[in-house]
Structure 1
Amino acid sequence: MVENEAEGEGRYRAPALDKGLDMIELLAAQEEGMTLKDISLALGRSPTELYRMLDRLARRGYVARRGDTYELTMKLFLLAHLRPPIRRLVGQAMPIMRRFTGAAEQACHLVKYDRGNLVVIAQVEAPGYWGVTIRVGARVGMVGTGSGHVLLAQASDEERRLMFEEHEWMPYEPRAPKDLEARLAQVRASGYESMESQQTAGVYNLSVPILGGNGTVLAALTCPFVRRLENPDAPDLDSVLALLLDAGRELSGIPAGA
């Protein structure tokens, strides 16, 4: 009885672990490094109690020290990509994504839902010297992006409800509009999303689902389409969408023409 009560009220605590996780989450949100004093002020803790923890994180490679500042390394990101499902998906996707960018002359990225967040897990830049890309590891919105619409559209009603419950809404991210269900039904029927970007003017988000063997959605493949004025012969939006649909079907294991 005591054990159940403790579990229900969250009384199983690990202060040292919480302290380390607090610092990792704080540093992950910073564009630049932070001094020990800055970290202690942000967390409301004394520099003395944080220093040893920071030293251990640095020795284990999670944090790097640059002069008197600390910043997060890529170790957590690399550990996440050691998970077999993600490694396998990215490994299968990259050759297909590279072929797409070469033919479409556009960039593309792969987005996966992970415990409340939509995360870019792979990206390929457009050929040439410019293009629109989103960095790997970036979080994207759920209702204001093509990737989000595709992932929501392919989910069941119960899965969609849980996705909204778990989602960590970002400050700039719009809330779900009243006509979202109708939009998702349209995406589900067509098999893709094509919409003006709500983040960048002049960009059109083209997104298609990547499906698993049992029909569940694994990820979304998205192309931030921009019209290339320097090359009048570059594929237009409809042509790029057709190439993206082909890439999505190939990644989903759907035979050509099916």
Structure 2
Amino acid sequence: MTEIEKATKYQAPALEKGLDILEYLSLKAMPLSQTEIATGISRKSNEIFRMLVCLEARGYIIREEISGKYKLSLKIYNLSHRHSPVDDIRTAAQYPMYELAGVLKQSCHLSVLYHSQLMVIHQSKSPSPISLSIEEGSLFPLVLTASGKVFLSFMSEEEQNNVLKSNDVFKKYSKLQQKELTESLSKIKETGYYIEASNLSKGVTDIVVPIGNMETGIVAVLAVSMLTTEYNEGLSLEDIIMEVQSCAGKILQRIGF
């Protein structure tokens, strides 16, 4: 059975209608009437009445007393915060990263943003007797790491500017250095991955890809840090990039995006 056939066979119209309502309300900054919601999700007003009543009864939406308009409650937010997102990302990444380390014979690590710094949350060690190791929980400056630059490159322009203006390393850069960095961030965003000789360890090359994209948002970055002279002889650099991107895609899928 194809994916399309499965989707057709197992359709749940009522559930889809409810999800459409919740997703549409999440995009709006102000409460909306039944008619406005119906128009926004391309349905008739009477089609969504029962679903609105159900969602209100279950506490997912709130109806304002005076206007009668609907808005999201904090229930979805509270549900999502019952589990640590970092734990979810780490769990989703463990097996794909184990496979990646086995294929490349190189260690790989996963990092997230933590108070405007880069924090390593998981490492999968190389099966080779000699390999690089980056301890989980380690914190690094965003500007000085390839992984940090990938994070910065996928931020909105406003967020990126705010982070850089408050970054002690960036503030010490000359105007030319600042310009070169911001230009490199634009190129990283266009390319979708980044390769750089490490600024923190001599003789190390970092290959980094984002976990996510502009639509889903960047939840983490995946990096392979290898000794510059120790590229896998059986794989070209292009092959290595493809393997890392494939691993990132598997992690994103396991997270649920």
Structure 1: unaligned runs, 5 residues or longer: 1-81
Matched with 2:141 is: 141
| Aligned mates of 1:124, 1:137 — CA distance in 2 | 14
Amino acid at match of 2:204: V
Matched with 2:97 is: 97
Matched with 2:10 is: none
* Distance change in 2, residues 1:227/1:192 (3 Å): same
Matched with 1:201 is: 202
Matched with 2:192 is: 191
Structure 1 position 97, deviation (Å): 0.5
Query: With structure 1 as the length reference, what TM-score do the two structures score?
Result: 0.59
Q: Name which one, 1 or 2, has greater alpha-carbon Rg.
A: 2
Matched with 1:118 is: 118
- Aligned-pair Cα RMSD in Å: 3.0
Residue 245 in 1 paired to residue 236 in 2?
Answer: no
| Aligned mates of 1:174, 1:144 — CA distance in 2 | 15
**How many residue pairs get matched?**
171
Matched with 2:180 is: 179
| Aligned mates of 2:156, 2:107 — CA distance in 1 | 30
1:7-41 CA distances to partner (integer Å, 9 max, x unpaired)?
Answer: xxxxxxxxxxxxxxxxxxxxxxxxxxxxxxxxxxx
| Aligned mates of 2:174, 2:130 — CA distance in 1 | 29
* Distance change in 2, residues 1:213/1:233 (3 Å): closer
Identical aligned residues as a percent: 22
Query: 115-124 vs 156-165, which deviates more?
Result: 156-165
* Distance change in 2, residues 1:232/1:149 (3 Å): closer
| Aligned mates of 2:253, 2:165 — CA distance in 1 | 31
| Aligned mates of 2:128, 2:161 — CA distance in 1 | 41
| Aligned mates of 1:174, 1:194 — CA distance in 2 | 23
* Distance change in 2, residues 1:235/1:129 (3 Å): same
Query: With structure 2 as the length reference, what TM-score do the two structures score?
Result: 0.59
* Distance change in 2, residues 1:117/1:174 (3 Å): farther
Structure 1 position 200, deviation (Å): 1.8
* Distance change in 2, residues 1:124/1:215 (3 Å): same
Structure 1 position 180, deviation (Å): 1.2
Structure 2: unaligned runs, 5 residues or longer: 1-81
Higher helix share goes to which structure? Answer: 2
Q: Is the 8 A contact 2:211 2:222 kept in 1?
A: yes
Matched with 1:211 is: 212
| Aligned mates of 2:112, 2:133 — CA distance in 1 | 16
* Distance change in 2, residues 1:93/1:174 (3 Å): farther
